[in-house]
Amino acid sequence: MTTLILGGGITGLLTAWHMQQRGEPAEVWEAAEEPGGWVQTLPWPMTDGWPGRFEKGPQGILVSPGSVADKLFRILDLDLHSLGKGARWVGKGGRLVPVPAHPIGLITSSLMTWRTKLRMFLEPFQSVGPEEPEEGLSDFIARRAGRGMAEELLPPMVAGILAAPPELLSVDAIPKLRQWESYGSMFNGIRKSGISHLMVPEGGMGALPKRLVERIPMVRRGLKAFGLERLPNGRWKVHGQGHSAEADRVILALPAFEAAELLGPVAQGSAEALKAIPYTSVKLWNSRHDPLPPYDDGFGFLIHPSEGKPYLGSLVPSWIDKGCAPKGVMQLRSFIGDSALWGDPRPEEPKDWAWTERNLRHWVPALAAPSQTLEVISINAIPRAEKGHRGRVCQAVEGLPQGLDWISNARFGPGVRDVIEGIEEWLRT
């Protein structure tokens, strides 16, 4: 049986690696010259030539000891580094409020009202909700941990992960939530599945696709698939730029909108369902500054969306990954959301560095002027699992003809960890 995998992002590469491990090698076609999709660590040298870097997509991966992701990195001989939980803040009421490192610290924190805190501590005593009908993300959190939690803490957290407002989203936007609830309560689920920390392999996140490519025999770079044809013998022919190939099975490891393009002529129902999955675009400003305690020694800060509109917060990559900038330099990565999603009062205003710096200084007035800045515009970067997502995914998958599959973070969950776990489970079934 011959298999072609279209898309050499982390989903396609990992699938090819697993198949190779099972003795069923597959060929991967990747449209770009460099495989990895969003998971790439790119060079950003300092002005004096020091070889700095920045992440195109994920800043790290959430890993708990003994988890599927932990085991994968070990098998691939990739050392993961973590500095632990790290200080973090939420911007609310015009100032940055520290997020306590431990739930007990929440008792004295000014992050939430007393009412919200009391309700949150009742989470373990709430009954488990039915699987159907699919709940909204805010409704799920309100049911489990109270309306206050859903309005005070959830929006900045979700904005920091998905760059979208939680009230638009399905609970399936963060699949871990339902998994944790299946243990009786989220509190129990988090405790039993082990506390995760954001980790980064040596060399940055791009080390993961690089290592996978080293271990997969056949990855064709710069080869974009543009047509699928069903042959009379039931096999599939894939047409690419200047090359075509036949296979018994074709796995589309592509974002929903790219897969929809290919599926249109051969699986219209699936294509319609995939086309209906929206994606969110973000702008990222990377900047380098003199260190500013305490922020240089922490994970970063997320801004409550009601005050950011659409500045969503900043991470501190120089704390997360020591290789991105030399000692004595604080590297920031600031997220600007899509104006249309966040009620931006001045959408016509360009979100240039001057705008970003003004917003940063509103929260961190003592921040030094940058020595370097770098703008990255990420179009259709993050799948938006809006309410009804589960039905769209089911319709897409169930409508596929024999010999075709679609896998993606839009199916398994938004993060690299979700993709790693999702692929393992998908390959088991």
Ligand X SMILES: Cc1cc2nc3c(=O)[nH]c(=O)nc-3n(C[C@H](O)[C@H](O)[C@H](O)COP(=O)(O)OP(=O)(O)OC[C@H]3O[C@@H](n4cnc5c(N)ncnc54)[C@H](O)[C@@H]3O)c2cc1C
Question: b/e string for 62-79 if b means 16 or more Cβ within 10 A?
Answer: bbbeebebbebbeeeebe
Q: Is 295 in the site for ligand X (CB under 6 A)?
A: no
CA angle 92, 317, 111 (to 5 degrees): 20
Of the candidate residues 4, 5, 10, 112, the single one contacting ligand X (CB under 6 A): 10
How far is the C-alpha of 195 from the C-alpha of 409, rounded, in Å?
22
x/- site string to ligand X, residues 28 to 47, per CB under 6 A?
A: -xxxx----xxx--------
3 binds ligand X (CB under 6 A): no
Contact 277, 390 (CB under 8 A): no
User: CA 172 from chain center: how many Å?
Assistant: 14
Q: How far apart are the C-alpha atoms of 74 and 67, rounded to whole Å?
A: 11
Q: What sections of 337-388 are H helices per DSSP?
A: 339-342, 353-363
Q: Does 9 bind ligand X (CB under 6 A)?
A: yes
Which of 96, 168, 225, 325 binds ligand X (CB under 6 A)? It is 225
> What residues between 253 and 282 interact with ligand X by CB under 6 A?
253-255, 258, 282
Tokens of 316: 């501190």
Site string for ligand X, 390-409 (x = CB under 6 A): ------------------xx
Tell me which of 168, 208, 416, 423 binds ligand X, using CB under 6 A.
Answer: 416
The reply on whether position 310 binds ligand X by CB under 6 A is no
Neighbours of 378 (CB within 10 A): 16
CB-wise, 142 or 213, nearer to ligand X?
Answer: 213
Q: How far is CA 32 from the centre of its chain?
A: 20
Show the tokens assigned to 325.
């900038």
2-10, 110-118, 151-159, 356-364 -> range binding ligand X (CB under 6 A): 2-10
Q: Which residue, among 301, 306, 304, 309, has the nearest Cα to 332 in the 3D structure?
A: 301
378 forms part of the interface with ligand X (CB under 6 A) = yes
Min dist. Cβ of residue 56 to ligand X (A): 7
Supply the minimum distance, in Å, between the C-beta of residue 121 and ligand X: 29
For the window 47-66, what string marks contact with ligand X as x by the rule CB under 6 A? ----------xxxxx-----
Q: Which residues are at the interface with ligand X (CB under 6 A)?
A: 6-12, 29-32, 37-39, 57-61, 224-225, 253-255, 258, 282, 378, 381-382, 408-409, 414-417, 419
